[in-house]
Structure 1
Amino acid sequence: MKQLELRYFARLRDALGLEGEHVNVPAEVHTVRDLIAWLRQRGGEWDAQFSGARPFRAAINQDLVPLDEPIPDDAEVALFPPVTGG
């Protein structure tokens, strides 16, 4: 199993009721996309937030990454809605 520190921001934090959590993910969770699929299995709001209907971004150890990015063990993975500036 891989250990990860997950952080949730903005609407995800509000909808999920968590700022973050430490999780042990199964060996088949290799990428951010795999992590999202694993989180969706929790059902309810988890499935709704990560279904793809509402966009979100991911960062590994504070670097923005695509969903196919591999996640190293003991990484911090942040999930958050897209941010615009002005």
Structure 2
Amino acid sequence: MNDSVTVLYFAGLREQFGRGSETVALSADVLTVKDFLTARRQEDTTFEAVFSRFPRIRVAVNKVMGDLSTPVHNGDEIAFFPPMTGG
């Protein structure tokens, strides 16, 4: 069975992708969120275009806030969302 992760998109990202989630195959060389983003940007031109519009993306792995160095494993849930503003 192939390794995979569930990817969730929130707010403007969901609107841009036209979906709130997807399952993505996880290659063996993906060890961190940064590796995942790099691989997805190379594999999917839509992913590159959308993430270029949102240069400051927030990430959570398994519902815990993370950053680019957060480890990624088979079966993880990776959630991406733009920074929130409030007042």
TM-score range, shorter chain: 0.7 to 0.9
Structure 1's unaligned 5+ residue stretches are: none
More helix by proportion, 1 or 2?
Answer: 2
Mapped to 2, the partners of 1:34 and 1:20 lie a distance apart of 19
8 Å Cα contact 2:58/2:83 also seen in 1: yes
Percent sequence identity over matched residues? 36
- Whole-Å separation in 2 of the counterparts to 1:30 and 1:2: 12
**Gap runs ≥5 in structure 2:** none
What TM-score, normalized to structure 2?
0.85
Aligned pairs, how many?
Answer: 85
* Larger deviation, residues 47-56 vs 11-20: 47-56
Q: TM-score, normalised by structure 1?
A: 0.86
Which whole-Å CA distance do the structure 2 matches of 1:17 and 1:58 have between them?
19
Taking only aligned residues, the RMSD between alpha carbons, in angstroms, comes to 1.7
